[in-house]
Amino acid sequence: MSVAIVTGSAGLIGSEAARHFARLGLLTVGIDNDMRSRFFGNEASTVWQREQLQRELGERYLHIDQDIRDAAAMARLFERYGSDISVIVHAAAQPSHDWAARDPQADFSVNANGTLNLLEATRRHAPDAVFIFTSTNKVYGDQPNRLPLVEQTTRWEIDPQHPYHQGIAEDMSIDQCLHSLFGASKVAADVLTQEYGRYFGMQTGVFRGGCLTGPNHSGTQLHGFLAYLMKCTATGTPYRVFGYRGKQVRDNIHSADLIAAFDCFFRAPRAGEVYNIGGSRFSHCSMLEAIALCEEITGRELSFEIVDDNRIGDHIWYVSDVRKFQSHFPSWKLTYDVRGILQEIFQFNESRWANPLSATV
């Protein structure tokens, strides 16, 4: 039987990937040790999602409670399945700017060393498998803040005459800018994944995501923008916006649309390829616009404050140009806009948020 290995399998992207490949008939081996709860506290725990995967997928899903930083453990796991491994979706990460600054060694060991362990295990035991890496737009550091931006009533926008008006393309430099330590560790993993593809001829794809979101996100203040914003609006929890007068812009891609992109690459892989992937102009908003949408959908007013200090290395305006990926895979299309994403997050989680101690969560 063909095998899919998914890291961070109880997280937002990992759980969507696990379901997808299990439904395609692959035995899905999920690696997740709930590090998210150690990063962000119990409210961010992914145990509820792991249990849901096990109930829903049954024998099609095997959960492995191990740490990707354990090179020997990863090598043993890959050796066990060997050439039966068809695809690896690497979605495990330490995903926060702020947390990385608190413990740079842990951040780098998870994001960079963990990725190296998985790439090397793939090279040695499953060299023909497709390796899909969930990277981030933070590899561009604060380079996007140097674009010609114009302040409007509810958002920042880019000069309409600029080549990046439709979104930031893969040709933007990742050099000579401020990344944050999180961004730096993801750069290392990103370049390693490219290098294994180009140097060893492996089928590796790097997906530099915008804001990845969806109803399965265990959002917290430090990570999970739309999910946490909707949770705060629905539950009456105060929310803090960091800098830029709340007008910072992000594109948002639903996890299902991202996994559809992964599936395209899985079926027609390339070596060492890089894609910017996000909601593009189809699905993007400012913080102020997202707050207004959350209030409209829930019928509740959000209590929020805007503080002057932005997070180090944070973007003022970031919209992904997805045209390179679309040119390689013309059948792929975005299906969820911001309103649709927020409506689904609210509908899916309203009862769970109202009863957080329920065994079903």
Which tens digit of pLDDT belongs to each residue from 254-277? 999 999 999 999 999 999 999 999
pLDDT at 39: 81
* Residue 292: pLDDT band with limits 50, 70, 90: very high
Gap between the Cα atoms of 108 and 21, Å rounded:
29
As beta bridge partners, residue 204 has 131
Domain spanning 3-354, CATH class: alpha beta
Q: What's the average model confidence in pLDDT over 151-171? A: 98
Would you kindly state where each structural domain of the chain is located, as residue ranges? 3-354
* Residue 353: pLDDT band with limits 50, 70, 90: confident
Sign of the CA dihedral 150, 156, 161, 163? positive
CA angle 16, 226, 53 (to 5 degrees): 25
Confidence check: pLDDT of 87 > 80: yes
The one-letter amino acid code at 56 reads E
* Residue 169: pLDDT band with limits 50, 70, 90: very high
Confidence check: pLDDT of 357 > 50: no
For the chain, give the percent of residues with pLDDT over 70.
96
For the chain, give the percent of residues with pLDDT over 90.
84
Confidence check: pLDDT of 358 > 70: no
User: 92-106, 209-223, 267-281, 295-309: which has the minimum mean pLDDT?
Assistant: 209-223
Residues in the chain: 361
**Inter-CA distances, 339 with 56, 145, 157, 270, 295, Å:** 28, 26, 20, 33, 11
Confidence check: pLDDT of 186 > 90: yes
Gap between the Cα atoms of 260 and 132, Å rounded:
12
pLDDT in tens, 12-37: 999 999 999 999 999 999 999 987 88
pLDDT at 223: 57
pLDDT at 356: 55
DSSP string, 232-299: HHHHT--EEEESGGG--EEEEEEHHHHHHHHHHHHHS--SSEEEEES-GGGSEEEHHHHHHHHHHHHT
Gap between the Cα atoms of 232 and 274, Å rounded:
35
Mean pLDDT (the chain) is 93
User: 95-104, 176-185, 342-351: which has the minimum mean pLDDT?
Assistant: 95-104
Q: Which residues contact 52 (CB under 8 A, 6 or more apart)?
A: 15
Confidence check: pLDDT of 361 > 60: no
